[in-house]
């Protein structure tokens, strides 16, 4: 299938937007930078990981506040990036992600998940409007240990 230059440029911009999200979550210290990845009305749906669903910046920021408080190290590796749909300022993305981390309590985690994202262009920048994450391979018990409710 032949793709025009405009499609290829948008596809590249979409992949860069997802890499920007991975960079933000790996920094573990800049909530303002993290929130630049999401539309104001975004949904962060982690029910596939047996975690809650968060709606809007306030709830999403609250989730990442807890992640940043609980985790000392993060590293996300993005692969198999695929633009499923690209129509004007709306896109749907699928990707595989290997996530590694260590909690401040010393619990090591490694997960193999997939992202299913709805992206929306806002003021010329691709942002996440809907973020769904679920296991590609079985989840280790360590994830529940780190993200359990106190």
For 68-116, the pLDDT digits (tens) are 999 999 999 999 999 999 999 999 999 999 999 999 999 999 999 999 9
Residue 1 pLDDT > 70: no
For 141, the token pair is 């018990």
User: Given this model, what pLDDT does residue 146 score?
Assistant: 80
Instruction: Please say whether the beta carbons of 130 and 39 come within 8 A.
Output: no
pLDDT band at 150 (very low <50, low <70, confident <90, very high): very low
Instruction: Please say whether the beta carbons of 131 and 64 come within 8 A.
Output: no
- Identify which of 106, 125, 126 has the alpha carbon closest to the alpha carbon of residue 117: 126
User: Given this model, what pLDDT does residue 51 score?
Assistant: 92
User: Given this model, what pLDDT does residue 105 score?
Assistant: 93
Collapsed DSSP state (helix, strand, coil) of residue 100: strand
For 118-138, the pLDDT digits (tens) are 999 999 999 999 999 999 999
User: Given this model, what pLDDT does residue 2 score?
Assistant: 64
- Identify which of 127, 123, 149 has the alpha carbon closest to the alpha carbon of residue 42: 127
User: Given this model, what pLDDT does residue 55 score?
Assistant: 98
pLDDT band at 3 (very low <50, low <70, confident <90, very high): confident
- Identify which of 48, 107, 50 has the alpha carbon closest to the alpha carbon of residue 74: 107
The domain 5-147 is placed in CATH, from the list 3.40.109.10, 3.40.1190.20, 3.20.20.70, 3.10.450.50, at: 3.10.450.50
Percent of the chain with pLDDT over 90: 89
Rounded CA-CA distance 138/113 in Å is 9
How are the residues of the chain apportioned to helix, strand and coil, as percentages rounded to the nearest 5? 35, 45, 20
Residue 57 pLDDT > 80: yes
Q: What is the pTM of this model?
A: 0.92
Domain residue extents for the chain: 5-147
């Amino acid at each position: 299938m032949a793709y025009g230059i405009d499609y290829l440029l948008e596809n590249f911009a979409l992949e860069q937007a997802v890499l920007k999200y991975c960079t933000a979550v790996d920094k573990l210290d800049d909530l303002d930078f993290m929130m630049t990845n999401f539309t104001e009305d975004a949904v962060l749906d982690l029910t596939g990981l047996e975690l809650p669903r968060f709606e809007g910046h306030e709830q999403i920021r609250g989730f990442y506040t807890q992640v940043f408080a609980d985790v000392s190290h993060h590293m996300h590796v993005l692969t198999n990036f695929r633009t499923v749909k690209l129509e004007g300022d709306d896109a749907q993305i699928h990707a595989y992600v290997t996530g590694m981390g260590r909690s401040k309590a010393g619990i090591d985690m490694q997960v193999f998940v997939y992202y299913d994202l709805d992206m929306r262009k806002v003021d010329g920048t691709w942002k996440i409007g809907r973020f769904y994450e679920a296991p590609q391979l079985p989840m280790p018990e360590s994830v529940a240990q780190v993200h359990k409710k106190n």
